[in-house]
Every structure is written in C-alpha cells, then in structure tokens.
Amino acid sequence: WLKPLWPTRASPTACSPPLVAMINARKKILKDKGVAPTDLEEEVAKALFDIEVTPSSDIKADVRDICISGAQELEVKNRSAVIIHFPYRVWKNVGKIHGRLVRELEKKFSKKHVVFVAQRTMLDKNFKAKGIKVRPRTRTLTSVHEAVLEDVVAPSEIFGKRTRICVDGSKLLKVMLDPKDKDKENVEAKLGTFAAVYKKLTNKEAQFTFPTV
C-alpha cells in the first residue's frame, strides 16, 4: 500500500492532554458566531476549567454552569485589572460564588485585580424603530450604568452615593461602600481599580470611598 502524501487526521483519542484541556476550556467561552476569542479570554476560560476539574475545589460544581462572554485587561496605576464579562443568564450563578471565584482567579492572575461584570443590552431612544413597543426600564442607559456600578464593587455593597458638580460643569459620582466590607477581600486596595473600571465601561468619573466614622 502507498502512503498518502498528506497527513491523516488524528483520531480523538490521539489528542494530547494539553489539546484536550484547551478544547474543554473553549466551552467556557460564549462568543458570537465567527468571532474568535482573544488570548486573554482563552486564559480566563482555562482558569475556570482548572477550577472546575480541581477535586479539592468547593466551587467546582457552581463553576460548571458558568461561562464568559468576554475579557479585557486595563492598566490601573502600578497594576493591571482583568475585567471579565459574563452572559446575563449565568450572572445569578456567578453571584452565588462571587467572592470565592474572584479569590481563585486572582491567585491564577497574580498581582492583578479581577472584576466581574454582567453583559447587558442597552436600548437607545430609537427602540421603536427596532419593532419594540415599550423599552424596559432595565435597558435604559441610566439603569444599565447603575447595574454596572453594583457589578464592579460586588460582592461589596453600596452604602450611599451622591453626584458632585465640579466648577467646570463636569460630574463626579461619589460612591460610599458599606463600612463592614472595608477589611474584606482587600477591598480598600481596590478602590482605585473600581474607579478605573467604571470609567472604562461607562465613560463616567467616580470616586469610591468608605464613610468616615
């Protein structure tokens, strides 16, 4: 018999372990058809898959039902932040293990802050042209930005907020976080990261603090 001049396709059982892991990790990424994931998104997906298959992990069952829709890196002063976007349909599952999952991912992305945000669809004022009769309040610009604010600081809670009008007419949103969260999960060190991420996602200036006692 003559050998073929082109390489034969390897059988599924012949896949190397790293290749199998990469294929399984890809299942943790939900992208639009034809859109390839970035290197960072693949790195995040692999980190989630590693947690899912770690026998000693107490959140592996919850991670199994979670996938991401995107990820981006943001430079914040002397460190980087990784913003991970989740499809809205899995956001409730993320909320159950939010703090623990952030801790696990920050171990894998050493020296980087990790922030979770749900993927939300915003409808502009021309929504009727798209065949939609009534625009849900949750789809308005204001509502989506309020939700993004809560996502960015989670699992910490917002204690209060007010808008300050500067002399030049610009606005600064001052956000006070719950004092009981001050010593949790290194939250105080992340205040600058929260402001930078919120600015990146909404193009609005915000300052995050804890109320003085």
Tokens 């204001």 correspond to 142
Lowest mean pLDDT among 7-16, 65-74, 107-116: 7-16
What is the Cβ-side half-sphere exposure of residue 161, based on CA atoms within 13 angstroms? 17
pLDDT tops 90 at residue 197: yes
pLDDT tops 50 at residue 1: no
Tell me how long the chain is.
Answer: 213
Structural tokens at position 33: 């058809």
Structural tokens at position 180: 């009981």
The per-residue DSSP string of 139-190 comes to: GSHHHHHHHHHHHHHTTS-EEEEEEEE-TTS-EEEEEEE-GGGTTSTTGGGG
> Are the C-beta atoms of residues 17 and 78 closer than 8 Å to each other?
no
pLDDT tops 60 at residue 6: no
Q: What are phi and psi of 210, to 5 degrees?
A: -110, 140
For 106-110, the CB contacts below 8 A with 24+ separation are 108/47, 108/50, 109/47, 109/82
**What percent of the chain shows pLDDT beyond 90?**
64
Average pLDDT, the chain: 86
Q: What are phi and psi of 124, to 5 degrees?
A: -80, -175
Q: How far apart are CA 160 and CA 137, in angstroms?
A: 22
Q: How many helices (H) and strands (E) does the chain have?
A: 7, 6
Helix, strand and coil percent figures for the chain, each rounded to 5: 40, 20, 35
Torsion of the alpha carbons at 147, 152, 155 and 26, rounded to the nearest 10:
100
Taking the model in full, what pTM does it have? 0.84
- Interval 53-69 mean pLDDT: 95
Q: pLDDT tens digits, residue range 10-20?
A: 444 455 556 56
